[in-house]
Chains A and B, each alone.
Chain A
Amino acid sequence: MKLVRLVVLGAVLMAAVAGCPETAAAQQKISVLTWNIPVYKEKIEGWIADFRKIHPDVQVEWLDKKGPEWGPFYQTQLVAGTAPDVIDVQGGLWLEYAANNGLVDLGPFLARDPEVKDYYNPRILPSWNYEGKQYMVPFYISKTLLFYNKTMLKEAGLTRPPQSFEELVDFARQMGKGEKSGFMTLNFDWLYWPLFAMNGVELLSPDGKKAAFNTPSAAKALDTLAKATADGAVNKVSWTGRWVEPNDAFASGTVGMYQAHAPAFFYVRGSGKWISADTLGVAQMPGGFATPNSHGFGISKSSKRPDLAWDFIKVATNEKWGYTFGTTLRNLTGAPRVDTRILEYFQKEDPLAYSVLKTQVENLDKLVGNWRQAKDAQIKEAFYTEIQAALLGRKPAAQALAEAERKVNRILQR
């Protein structure tokens, strides 16, 4: 009898707990997903502490995932209906979520907080605009630029960085001898696109419904790059490596020019003992073209507390934390007031870093490779697969472009 009574009591207690409304603590909780900044833990705890000064009854759960894990994690959370309230996303990954109604339109929040809207750089904010809606605000910004090894340029009798695509390839040939190569680029996302942009190549038609890249100038550019890769002027790692490999190659001091985004500089400087203001030059790519690879903050549509999430974003990107982030992780933030202070700091403390960061807010009208396409990931994969085959000498350029065109059009028609 005692056992029966215990079982009944347990069942009643369980029913009572299950039947209870959500506890106050559970109601007042938001989660924040960041992209590979575990090193910044201490400062993120500072964001949370500041946020809790405004909302003392709200718990904040912080999650961080490395780049390759971020997408799978977020997707599984979406399927489970437990997507984090606030997300920090890199590059164009946000587009698919925005296009499929997975993110909150931040337009009304910005309209409600005009001083916050004015705080962000008006030339950068549109980077996260899709079909007239603002889905993200800048967390930190980066875009590609050209690093060059002054010693190698000098040894090749060159006195300045290249000003055109032809010069870029020509200079690369002059520097690429033996173990040394003249040029290398990062290839993930669309970071290599300035090479096509400076040849007047467009990816899609103006209405975004058809591939537009299969042109004689694209074929010529691709063919030139393939030949330069085959003879060692362009480092093959450009088309096979992702992040570590090209950075390590440039850090080794055997590559003349390197197209990469600003964060690559800090990685390369860490392992490249040859790097100093005397040996490393910084310039815009010919034509001033650059591909952005910035990080933005957004709010998942499934968030039950978008107002709290917005308040959290405001804290994380405010002047105090923007400046702290910029000076700690050496990035600009997309907020002009803060970026001016960050640049002043680096001009004084680290002039070489200053010269790199300064390029990140120049030529913002020459940003390329940042199309607002919902199927960005699929198009990128279809295009790059074919282009890579041509660049590595597996296919003629014309054939690769024709096949890429067929694949991209098929994706656009689906």
Chain B
Amino acid sequence: MNVARRWRRQGVIWLLLAPSLAIFFLYRIVPLGWNAVLSVQKWSPLRPAEFAGLYHYEEMLLHDDVFWTSLGNTLVYMASAPIGIALALALALLVNAGLRGRTVYRAIIFVSYPLMTVAVGIIWRWLYDEKLGLINYVLIRLGLVERGIAFLDSFTWAMPAVIVAAIWQIVGFFMIIVLAGLQSIPPNLYEAAAIDGADRGQRFARITVPLLRPSLFLCLVLGIINSFTSFDLIYVMTRGGPNYATELLITYIYRAAFVLSQLDYAAALTVVLFVLLLAVTWAANRATGGEAGAVEAAE
């Protein structure tokens, strides 16, 4: 390939990339940079900016209990992702078996995913209601409790209650991913293993799980990202309460910016969230051998 042709080709590639790059720069890089700058300033819409160094970070790390609570809650919320994946795996195995009406089951399980998160929050708020909720009705009828439990107002129950709602919403989506993975496993592997005397447990542990690894890993990454950005469900169900029991970093950022009017402090919180996401993404990439998202260069 001669030089002129190569340059022309490069030019066309960059020309085609330019609109996407421009949008990415304007809507991702510039706000990110501005946010980082804002985090080292004292600023509000009504005050001129003033350099503050690491003041907000010091405040956050040394004096702000709510930051640590919301960080802890975010990690707990994140840690619930494997529960959803395990459930999705179990459901996928069930609907992948020769069950009668399995397509109906698949549809029923998946139907929660396309629902708007706000609708999911409202549905679960009703289900958890202390006086009128179905869950309390069942618990009382079964004689498990004497009085209804105020799940979303309870320090003990609020976070598990929100996690259950989050898992319910996403489990159908995870199930479809795992199901696709299951169906891509060649059946002859199971046949060969069965001939060699492997029982069902051994086949599951030695064939199904290893070959499902990419699907399970994808679910894990999606679950973790979801836990960092799950604003709407928390906002609708508990608004971070009671007493910050369900406050996540993302909801705390909103509270700092728009309830407490501390946009500069919210920017510092956002930087911390960004660093955390970066670390998780890096760890995820490492866990897949550093090849996540890599594509073969076209010749």
Contact = CB atoms under 8 A, between A and B. Distances in A.
B258 A240 contact: no
Interface stretch (B92-100, B224-232, B240-248): B240-248
A71 B45 contact: no
A381 interface: yes
Main SS at interface, chain A:
helix
B288 interface: no
Given A75-B258, A378-B262, A394-B155, A101 B46 contact: yes
B261 interface: yes
B150 A96 contact: no
Interface in A371-413: 377-378, 381, 385, 388-389, 392, 394, 410
A351 interface: no
- A-B residue pairs, 10 tightest by C-beta: A100-B46, A78-B45, A72-B258, A240-B153, A102-B46, A79-B45, A240-B242, A388-B243, A378-B260, A377-B260
B259 interface: yes
Nearest to B46: A100
Interface string B49-64: 0000000000000010
Interface string B147-162: 1001001010000000
Given A96-B261, A97-B46, 12 more contacts: A71-B259, A72-B258, A75-B45, A75-B258, A100-B47, A101-B46, A236-B153, A239-B242, A240-B241, A381-B259, A388-B243, A392-B243
22 contacts: A71-B258, A71-B261, A72-B258, A75-B45, A75-B263, A78-B45, A78-B46, A79-B45, A96-B261, A100-B44, A101-B46, A236-B150, A236-B153, A237-B153, A377-B259, A377-B260, A378-B260, A378-B262, A385-B66, A392-B242, A394-B155, A394-B243
A143 B262 CA distance: 28
Interface residues of A, number: 27
Contacts of A72: 257-258
Nearest to A387: B243
Interface in A217-276: 236-237, 239-241, 252
Interface string B269-281: 0000000000000
A97 B46 CA distance: 8
Contacts of A78: 45-46
Interface in B124-139: 131
A232 to B, nearest CB: 10
B58 to A, nearest CB: 12
Interface in B25-59: 44-47
Contact of B260 (A301, A381, A392, A410): A381
